[in-house]
Structure formats: C-alpha cells, structure tokens
Chains A and B, each alone.
Chain A
Amino acid sequence: MSKLFTKKLGLTVISSATALTLMACGGAGEETDTDNADTSAVETEGKTLTLGVWGGNDAEESSLDSLISQFEEETGAAIEKKVYTDYNTQIQTDLIGGTAPDVFYVDVSMFDFFEEQGTLMELEPESFEVDAFYDTLIEAFSNDEGGLYAIPKDMSTLSLYLNEDIFEAAGVSIDEVPGSLEEYVDWLPGFQEKIDEAYPDDDVFAMSYTPELSRTYHLMERGDGDVITEDGLANLNDPAVIENLQILTDLKDTGAYVTPQDIGTGWNGEAFGIGKIAIMDEGNWVYQTLNNEFSDVNFTVKEMPTYKDEQGSMMFSVGWGKYAGTEESELADLWIQHATGAEGMQEWVEGTGTLPSRQDVAEAADITSNPDLNIHLEAWEFASPWQDGVTLTTVSNAFNNYLPTVMNGEESWEAAMEEANSQANSDIEAAN
C-alpha cells in the first residue's frame, strides 16, 4: 500500500466518521475572501451559517436561541446550531475532518493551539469595534504578531464569596476577614474554632479551594514566578514558583482549608450553597447558581485577598472564532458582529448572568450598580487570563496530578513539583 494511498484512505475514514455524526459544512483549506469592509452589501438571504457551541445551562441556551432568531430575521440567513457534548474531542475531530462549523466557541485556554494549527481565520479589528473591549481580552485572542483571531463573547473572573449565615452563627463580622492570604494563615484557626462551636454536629469549614492549576496559576505567577517559560517548557520546580505555592500548604495546615471533594461535594458552588463552606473563591458563574438553586443562602462578594502585596485573580473567557475553511466568511463576520455588538452582548449578559467583555456594555447593562458583580468586573484589571501557550494543558495535567500529594502531606513541594515538571517536560520535548 503506497504511503499516499494510505494517507488518503485515512483522511476518508476520519471525514466519513465525522460526517456520519455531524452535519457537514464547508471544506477545509478553501480560503475565502476575508475582506469584509462593506458588510451591508453582503448577500445573506437564503444562506446557511453553522455555529459550533457547547451545551450551556438553560439561561445560556435561551439567550443564544434569541440571538439566533434575531439574526435570522435581520439577515434572512438560516443558522444551524451544532451543540458539542464533548467539546475538546469533537471540535478537534471536526477541524481535522474539515467539517467544522463556520463560527465556533474558542475557549481562551485553547486559543493558542487552534491559532497555531491554522484553524482560525484572521479577523479585521475595525469590523468588530475592538476598542470597546477590555484590552486584556483582545490580547488573549490575538497571536504574537498581533493578529486578531476571535472576539470574546463574555468573561468571568474569580472573586471571594462569603456565606453571611455562617459568619453570623459563628459570631464573626465579615469585616474581620483579612485582606491578604498571609493574614489568613493566622486568622483561619480562630475562625474555624468559632465555626466548630456554632456547628458541633456538622463538618463546616472556614475556607475551600479547588486543586487545579486554573485556580492557582495567578498565585504561582506572583513576583518572579513563571509557570511556563518562553520556550513553552514547564517551570514548576522553579524556586520562585515553589516559594509562591508555599501559602497553599500553610493554609492547609490550619485545618480550615478543604476542597469541595473533601467534604463530599462536586464543586465549590454546591459546598457553599449547602452551607458547608464559609469562604470560597469562585467565578461569577456561581452567582446565578446561588441565586437560583440556593436562594436561601445569604452571601456577599469581596475582592480576592492579596498575596505578596499584589492583587490577583483568574480570568476566563470564550470567544467566537471563524473557521479557516468557512465558505460563509462574510456571513460569519456578521454573526460575530451581531453576537458581540453592544446590543447583542447586552442581551447575552443580561440573560446569562455572565460579565460583558465590552466596557460600554458593562455600563449599559447596569452591572456596575450590582456591587457583587461589579467586584468580578473590576477584577479584569489584575486578573491573569487562563492562557499560556500550547503547552498549558500538558503542564496543567502534570500539576493537577501531583498537587494532591503535597496538600495531603505525603510529599514536599520540591519533590512533587520536580516530578510534575519532568513529566510535563518529557512530553513537551518529545513533541518538539
């Protein structure tokens, strides 16, 4: 069997496999004209645009459906929604098979990978009012040369959530909560004691953490800390990074710092909602959950505590990216303009409770007048985007793999991070 034949055969297999399960649209590699200066002249009537999204909650579904029907009415084009149940594997299969949707969700942590593989078409900054967006987000969706490849549809940041009911039961004022993580180490044991007195029969804890790099990244990057070097190599065993991580074990040693899994819950929102946790750091997606599913919990949102005298938080975002092989490039631009324009985004954030990625929408949607959400919004200035090149997934896997052994007291930071680092780097070097 000749090599060329096998190659073609393989491609046929992959494409037929994806075509069977997914609606086909557009062929890979067929570059279309990216010029979209005069969008009003675009012929849209009767055309079809495919959107690739993952299934969100009910609020997200209905907000997206409403945006879609407006777009269909305005343009006369039809929109097909392709909902991924396992985004990571399915979008990769679609992109490889050349059956990817014209426009699709691009998670900020996947952006570098998609861009490097040439799956995204460059976008004209002038067509999308980029000046209205938070610049951190526009940067996150641009490559090293400054080319823009996706438009952020919304954003989320981490902030601190305090359960007022537990504070009240323990007889501690919310104002007593320290401003820096270093102070927490001394303050948590006393707080935990008071909680234990107030809830003698229940396991209620002062504070929770999520044991993942996507949550601790910003702490590790303080000062001289650099989790991933410029060459994309893991740098987890760097003394500066390890020094930054020390705070996690210090907090753990107070006995008041647990993971949601430790206390038998799936995630922070649930643990906090059922009243097992007094303080957690979580993204604004939990805000709606607490209001809808745990409406009897009284809580307040505060800024993340400082660490090493610096403010910090994580920023997550999803953008709309245009498939490099799309045949409906102009229609795709129109959709992105519609969904990320001032009006569309306002409807989206009001419907879903997410934060806008545009400053003008933040004001128009009146988010600034909600003190809780405003804390999340203002965190954009110091939050680190969850993005660090194409090796981030590999490094993150290795870190998450070894983090529990340190938090559980079996290994030192030095030993565990050495192992995690060599695991990640052997994969990274093998790929280069």
Chain B
Amino acid sequence: MKANSKKSRVSKSRLVEWFQAYTFLAPALLISLVFFVVSILFSLYLSFNNVNLYASTYSFTGIENYARMFTDGRAAIALKNTATFSAVVVPAQTIAALMVAFVLASDKLKGRKMFRLIYFLPTLTSSSALTLIFMFIFNVYGPVNELLLNVGLLSEPINFLQNPEYSLKVIMVMNVWSTVPMFMTIYLASLVDLPKSLYEAAEIDGASSWEKLLYITVPYLRPITTYVVLMGIIGTFQMFDQAYIFSNGSGGPANSTLTVALMIYQYAFGQMNSMGYASALAIMLALIIFVVSLVAEKVNNRNS
C-alpha cells in the first residue's frame, strides 16, 4: 500500500464512503439489533426457561416448553385454526386480487380510476372498526341472515358469531375483503408495465379475455404472485386483532377463533407467568411460517 500511492488514495476514498454508508445505516442497524436480533435471541432464551419476569427468576427447563405444545390440545386447535385460515384466505385473496387487478387494468373499462379508489377503501379501514361492522352484518338478526331468509336459502337464521362452525369463516371473509385491495394495488402497479403488444398479438391469434389472463397476465405476474403469497402466508399465520376483537380475547366460541398469535398473547400477558411457554409458541410459529413460506416459494417457482 505504501509503495503504490494511487491505490492508497482509492482506499482512502473507499474508507470515507464506507464510513458514510455506515453512518447512514447506523440508526437502522441499531434499531434492528435491539428490536429484532436481541429480542429474538432473548425470546429463544426464554423459551427454554420457566420464567417469572417480575421476580426476574429464570429456571432452565430444557425443552419442556416445547414438549408441552405436543400434549396441549389447545395448541393443536390453534395451529389447525391458523392453518385452515391461511389455506383458505391466501389462495382466495391472491386470486381475487389478481382478477380485480386484471379487470381494472383494462383500458376499455370506463371510470376505472373511480373503481380503483373504491376498491382500495377497505384497506384504509382500521381492523377493529372492520370487525365490529362485520359482527353487525353477520349477527342473528342482521342483514346477511335477513337476505338468506328472504330468498329462501335458510329457514332458520344462523348464529354466525356464536356458532363455532361459522365464526372462523366470518373472520376469513372479513380478512379476504380487507386484504384484497392492498394486493390488487401491487398487481396493478406491475400490470401497468405489461407490454400491450403481447395482448394485441394474442388478439390477432384469436385469444379470448380468459386465455389472455391465463397465458399472458398470470405468467407475467409470477414474481409478484410469489411476493403476494408470501405476504399472505405471513399475515394470516400472524392473525391476531380480528380474532381478539371477535371473541373478546377468549378465542371462543369453543376455541373456534383461537389462533396461534392469540394463544401467545393469552400466555404472555395472562396472570400465570407462562412467558416461557409463550416464547416457545412464538419461536415455533416463526419456524412454521418459515417452512410454509419456503415450500410455497418453491412450488410457485417450479411452475414457471
């Protein structure tokens, strides 16, 4: 380095650049270090201990917290609810978002800006307000039951909110309704870049709208779909607020709206000092999301 002055100048300016870069990165790095890295490590530590945070007592219990999950019937129910929820909501919201985006991207549609605005509105609604509105719509004497009774599909109203068979389904509908606009916008942004010539060429070959969607739009949007599906999986597996408001925190009726995230909350902030178990559940949830996301990505890419 001493022998070559040119090289040393380069490395000096590199050093300045390096310094600048890390100065700008520092706040973000610090925040992720404290709130992500350290928190995750601490949570991992908690999951192997029996914890009382008030008294700061930690007794190492090995994998006891993890073993408890497999004998805990509620954990199985929570996982089943969450997985069912995800399995229904993710495909539904992805397909719906894609269809709506496809239609709204068409030049032939009049007033599409207006439709885009209207369709985007659900995203702006807070999920607590949304939950209350849906609880109104689906109550025993509410509009949905009235409609079904009037058209003769039902002879008795369904208690959507208190019947364990229906309660999770109501939340599914609610969740799809509120997440579609967000994903629709993401699809739309990408569709704007789709070359019109592809559609025109297909039209000359006599392709219908449906064929254009299936053979041009869908393959073109595959990378976006990967993103949408991953976000969907993560979002649905972490679903908390709607289930919490719907069941007033209990996960009822009969554990039908108990999600893994709600269960973690119950154990972490209950009065039983079960923070260790809550941490183990959280770590397990993270692992499950990781694996499911990985599989979904692999499947989506293999199809291309």
- Residues on A lying within 8 angstroms of B by beta carbon are 3, 6-7, 9-14, 16-17, 88-89, 92, 95-96, 110, 113, 117-119, 203, 212, 258-259, 261-266, 390-394, 397-398, 400-405, 407-408, 410-411, 416, 419, 423, 426-428, 430-431
| A10–B39 CA distance with the chains assembled, in angstroms | 8
Q: List residues of chain A with CB within 8 A of the CB of B27.
A: none
Which residues of chain A come closer than 8 Å to B273, judged between CB atoms?
431
Chain A nearest CB, measured from B255 CB (Å) = 6
Among B41, B140, B272, contact of A394 (Cβ-Cβ < 8 Å): B272
Contact of A13 among B38, B58, B135 (CB under 8 A): B38
B142 engages A401 (CB within 8 Å): no
Task: Report if B304 contacts A (CB, 8 A).
Answer: no
Question: Which of B111-119, B161-169, B185-193, B194-202 makes up part of the contact surface?
Answer: B161-169
Give CA–CA (A408, B34) in the complex, Å: 48
Across-interface contacts of A394 in B (CB, < 8 A):
270-272
Task: Say whether B68 contacts A397, CB under 8 Å.
Answer: no
Chain B residues within an 8 Å CB radius of A95: 54
**B55 sits at the interface (CB 8 A):** yes
Tell me which of B46, B162, B255, B267 contacts A10 (CB under 8 A).
B46
Kindly provide the distance from the CB of B253 to the nearest chain A CB, expressed in whole angstroms: 4
Specify the chain B residue showing the minimal Cβ separation from A396.
B250
> Across the interface, do A404 and B42 meet the contact criterion of CB distance under 8 Å?
no
A261 touches B135 (CB 8 A): yes
Interface residue? B80 (CB, 8 A):
no
Q: A84 → chain B, closest Cβ, in Å?
A: 13
Contact B42 A13 (CB under 8 A): yes
* B105-146 contact mask (Cβ, 8 Å, vs A): 1 or 0: 000000000000000000000000000100110011110000
- A426 to B72: give the CA distance in the assembly, Å: 8
- Residues from chain B with a CB closer than 8 A to the CB of A416 are 254
A431 touches B272 (CB 8 A): yes
Q: How far is the CB of B274 from chain A (nearest CB, A)?
A: 6
The reply on B277 being an interface residue by CB < 8 A is yes
Partner of A9, one of B38, B72, B73: B38
B181 an interface residue at 8 Å Cβ cutoff? no
Which of B58, B136, B161, B253 touches A405 (beta carbons < 8 Å)?
Answer: B253
Verify A117–B254 contact, CB threshold 8 A: no
Given contacts A262-B141, A401-B253, A401-B254, contact A427 B54 (CB under 8 A): no
Q: Name 15 extra pairs, CB < 8 A, besides A6-B45, A262-B139.
A: A6-B42, A10-B45, A13-B42, A16-B34, A96-B53, A96-B54, A264-B135, A390-B271, A394-B272, A401-B258, A402-B252, A404-B161, A404-B254, A423-B255, A431-B272
B residues near A264, Cβ cutoff 8 Å: 135-136, 139, 141-142
* B19 located at the interface, meaning its Cβ lies under 8 Å from any Cβ of chain A in the complex: no
Residues of A within 8 Å of B72, CB to CB, are: 426
On chain A, the residues within 8 Å of B46 by CB distance are: 10
Please name all residues of chain A whose beta carbon is closer than 8 Å to the beta carbon of B34 when the two chains form the complex.
13, 16-17
Q: Tell me which residues across on chain A come within 8 A of B266, comparing CB atoms.
A: 397
Asked whether, in the complex, the Cβ of A404 is within 8 Å of the Cβ of B38, the reply is: no
Nearest 10 Cβ contacts at the A-B interface: A401-B252, A404-B253, A404-B162, A117-B54, A431-B272, A10-B42, A400-B250, A113-B271, A264-B139, A96-B53
For B56, list chain A residues within 8 Å (CB).
7, 11
Partner of A403, one of B38, B52, B132, B252: B252
Residue of B248, B258, B266 most packed against chain A (CB within 10 A): B248
- Give, as a whole number of angstroms, the nearest-CB distance from B93 to chain A: 26
- CB neighbours (8 Å) of A408 from chain B are 159, 162-163, 253
Q: How does the 8 Å CB contact mask read for B230-272 relative to A, with 1 for contact and 0 for none?
A: 0000000000000000011111111100100000001101111
User: Among A7, A96, A428, which residue has its beta carbon within 8 angstroms of that of B272?
Assistant: A428
Nearest to A203 among chain B residues (CB) is B141
State whether A400 and B139 are in contact (beta carbons under 8 Å apart), knowing that A89-B269, A119-B54, A408-B159 are contacts in the complex.
no
Residues of B within 8 A of A427 (CB): 267, 270, 272, 274
A407-B248 in contact given A391-B272, A419-B254 (Cβ < 8 Å): no
Interface residue B210 (Cβ < 8 Å from any Cβ of A): no
Q: A263 CB to closest chain B CB, in angstroms?
A: 5
Could you name 12 residue pairs across A and B whose Cβ atoms are closer than 8 Å?
A6-B45, A7-B58, A9-B42, A262-B162, A263-B140, A394-B270, A404-B252, A426-B73, A427-B274, A430-B68, A430-B277, A431-B273
Cβ 8 A contact of A88, one of B141, B269, B277: B269
- A416, B72: Cα distance in complex, Å: 18
Residues B140 and A262 in contact, CB atoms below 8 Å apart:
yes
A392–B258 Cα distance when bound, in Å, is 19
Complex CA–CA separation, A85 to B61 (angstroms): 35
Whether a CB of chain A sits under 8 angstroms from the CB of B70 is: no
A258 to B139 CA separation, bound complex (whole angstroms): 11
Contacts of A423 in B (CB 8 A): 73-74, 255
Pair B132/A266 contact, Cβ less than 8 Å? yes
Question: How many whole Å from A375's CB to the nearest CB in chain B?
Answer: 28
Is B35 in the interface zone, CB < 8 Å from A?
Answer: yes
**Residue B60 CB within 8 A of the other chain:** yes
Docked-complex contact B250 and A401, CB < 8 angstroms: yes
**How far apart are the CA atoms of A401 and B252 in the complex, in Å?**
4
CA–CA, A423 and B271, complex, Å: 15
Report Cα–Cα, A89/B268, bound state, in Å: 9
Nearest B residue (CB) for A401 = B252
Q: Which residues of B contact A212 (CB under 8 A)?
A: 248
Given contacts A262-B141, A264-B141, A402-B254, contact A391 B248 (CB under 8 A): no
Q: How far is the CA of A9 from the CA of B252 in the complex (A)?
A: 37
CB proximity of B156 to chain A, nearest CB, Å: 11
Complex CA gap A282/B55 in Å reads 38
Q: For the complex, what is the distance from the CA of A398 to the CA of B252, rounded to whole Å?
A: 8
